[in-house]
Amino acid sequence: MNRIDEILGKIDVLEKELRVELRDVTNEFLYTVQEKKIRFSEEVRAKHREFAARWSEYVYDSGVWVILTIPFIWMPLVPALLLDISTWLYQLMCFPVYGIPMVKRRDYVVIDRHSLKYLNLIEKVNCFYCGYFNGLIGFVREVAARTEQYWCPIRHARPVKSVHSRYRHFFPYGDAEGYRKGLNRVREDFDDV
């Protein structure tokens, strides 16, 4: 195993540790997740309501320039919905043919901030948008990563800013022999998903 594989392996371990730590934060803020529903104690819900900002004050405090950007924030929603539908259809039709495990959209698109009583309606809508959009990008990235692992599992010659979850399975740039001998093995190497 070369140094790049070693570093990518460490990143995987750290990401798993991070997910555990993020799950453990539930104890600090006294909530539980039961059947995908977030439950706070009545005492915590009452405390949250004390911190809720009135939406009218929230809008006023935002200022004119922030209000004027709203159409530009929401403009990408239509293409995002098309991307969501087309990605879902793509993996539904193609992944079974390629033998690639399906990506669970619900693991990426998480909409749960509406349960927070300290958010006003505008903040909840904003959080819905951000949760959807960022989750969608993560979902699409994972679908693309699995596709790339099947069709072109070769690392780039130039360093990339951020590598996706499948990159560690890829062949080093220029490794023609490894690519030809190991392509079928890599195309089937989804045991870790």
Q: Where exactly are the structural domains of the chain?
A: 3-187
The tokens for 61 are 């405090």
To the question of pTM greater than 0.85 for the whole model, the response is no
Per-residue pLDDT reduced to its tens digit, 141-151:
999 999 999 99
Rounded Cα gap, residues 110 and 63, in angstroms: 29
Please name every residue paired with 147 in a beta bridge, in sequence order, or none if there are none: none
Q: In this structure, what are the phi and psi dihedrals at residue 123, rounded to the nearest 5 degrees?
A: -65, -40
In the chain, which ranges are continuous DSSP H helix?
Answer: 3-24, 42-50, 55-62, 64-68, 70-74, 77-98, 121-151, 176-187
Residue type, 103: V
Least confident of 22-26, 61-65, 105-109, 121-125: 22-26
d(CA 160, CA 139): 20
CB atoms within 10 A of CB 153: 19
Distances in Å between the Cα of 137 and the Cα atoms of 16, 84, 105, 131, 186 are 20, 9, 10, 10, 24
The pairing of strands 31-34 and 37-40 is antiparallel
Give me the pLDDT at residue 21, please: 76
Largest CA distance in the chain: 65
CA terminus-to-terminus distance, the chain: 21
Token digits of residue 89? 């259809």
Q: Choose the weakest-confidence range: 13-17, 80-84, 121-125, 145-149.
A: 13-17
pLDDT at 42 over 90: no
